[in-house]
């Protein structure tokens, strides 16, 4: 049973560029959440997708956008990259959107470096 | 708003017991979680508390007091592999997001 898979694992971009990160949830999960984790910090919630719609959004600018596909996979897009966007981007999947134990299964992350 | 505090670093020796504290302030409580994260790896779920009291799972236990806005993670019989960051998180009222603390880096030495 494959867990949460993310791609790419590492990438380097320059300021002003755009990036797309991809995530496939754990088998049986229908909800995908994205988190940003800066070095030495805890993960920060970006948004959650459920039934192909953005269900909840954290305190991130509109430069951060996402999408969920019918097969529950998801993309995170970041436009007009800033140096401060350098971080580990974690995708987490769960079942049922909200409620339950809320156990999130995290992927290994995509490490983005903005130069 | 929500605020979570936990110590930045802790050290302990193999075989010992360590308690990692977490205090929180939130406008709506919907469960508290502990995650373990080894360097360069994904966070993994350790425990979940929604009611006051102690939840035990093998060498790991987690305690919650909602009235005090306080939780702790207790690790017994420490092993070198327990060296990791331990993240305390509370779930938002809508149940759609976890709000994480900055994490506590635990170093276990022999």
Share of chain B above pLDDT 90, in %: 85
Put simply, whether A55 touches B (Cβ < 8 Å) is yes
Q: For B81, list phi and psi in degrees, rounded to 5.
A: -70, -10
How far, in Å, CA of B90 to CA of B61, rounded? 17
Put simply, whether A56 touches B (Cβ < 8 Å) is yes
Residue-level pLDDT at A103: 79
Put simply, whether A42 touches B (Cβ < 8 Å) is yes
Q: In what order do the strands lie in the sheet with B53-57?
A: B3-5, B18-25, B70-75, B60-65, B53-57
| Contact call for B96 and A101, based on CB within 8 A | no
Put simply, whether A57 touches B (Cβ < 8 Å) is no
Concatenating the DSSP letter of every residue in B7-48 gives -SEEEEETT--EEEEEEEE-SS---EEEEEE-TTS--EEEEE
Q: How many angstroms separate the CA of residue A71 from the nearest CA in chain B?
A: 20
Query: What average pLDDT does this structure show over A21-30?
Result: 94
Closest CB from B31, B41, B96 relative to A56: B96
Put simply, whether A98 touches B (Cβ < 8 Å) is yes
- Chain A positions touching B97 (Cβ under 8 A) are 33, 45, 48, 56, 58
Residue-level pLDDT at A113: 98
**Which residues, including other chains, have CB under 8 Å from residue B81's CB and lie 6 or more apart?**
none
- Residue A56's region, left for phi above 0, alpha for psi from -120 to 50, else beta, is beta
Q: Which residue has the tokens 């092993």?
A: B79
Which tokens sit at B43? 């966070």
| Contact call for A43 and B102, based on CB within 8 A | no
Residue-level pLDDT at B30: 87
Put simply, whether A70 touches B (Cβ < 8 Å) is no
pLDDT score of A18 more than 80: yes
| Contact call for A98 and B94, based on CB within 8 A | yes
For residue A25, give the DSSP letter.
Answer: P
Lowest mean pLDDT among A8-12, B39-43, B56-60, B78-82: B39-43
Q: Are B83 and B14 in contact (CB under 8 A)?
A: no
How far, in Å, CA of A108 to CA of A100, rounded? 23
* Each residue's pLDDT tens digit, A50-73: 989 999 999 999 999 999 999 999
Put simply, whether B1 touches A (Cβ < 8 Å) is no
Lowest mean pLDDT among A32-46, A92-106, B32-46: A92-106
pLDDT score of A23 more than 70: yes
Residue-level pLDDT at B15: 97
Query: What average pLDDT does this structure show over B61-75?
Result: 97
Closest CB from A40, A98, A104 relative to B45: A104
Q: Give me the residues of B, 31-50, that contact A with CB < 8 A.
A: 31, 33, 41-45, 48
């Amino acid at each position: 049973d494959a867990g949460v898979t993310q791609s790419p694992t590492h990438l380097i971009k320059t300021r002003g560029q755009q990036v797309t990160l991809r995530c496939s949830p754990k088998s049986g999960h229908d909800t995908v959440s994205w988190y940003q984790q800066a070095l030495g910090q805890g993960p920060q919630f970006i948004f959650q997708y459920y039934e192909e719609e953005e269900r909840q959004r954290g305190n991130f600018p509109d430069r951060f956008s996402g999408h969920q596909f019918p097969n529950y996979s998801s993309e995170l897009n970041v436009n007009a990259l800033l140096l401060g966007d350098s971080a580990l981007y974690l995708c987490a999947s769960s079942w049922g959107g909200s409620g339950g134990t809320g156990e999130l299964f995290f992927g290994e992350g995509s490490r983005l470096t903005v130069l | 708003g929500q605020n979570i505090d936990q110590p930045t670093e802790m050290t302990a020796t193999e075989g010992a017991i360590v308690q990692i504290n977490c205090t929180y302030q939130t406008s709506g409580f919907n469960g508290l979680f502990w995650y373990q994260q080894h360097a360069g790896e994904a966070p993994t779920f350790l425990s979940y508390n929604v009611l006051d009291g102690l939840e035990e799972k093998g060498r790991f236990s987690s305690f919650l007091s909602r009235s005090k806005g306080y939780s702790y993670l207790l690790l017994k019989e420490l092993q070198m592999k327990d060296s990791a960051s331990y993240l305390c998180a509370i779930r938002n009222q809508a149940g759609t997001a976890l709000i994480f603390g900055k994490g506590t880096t635990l170093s276990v030495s022999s």
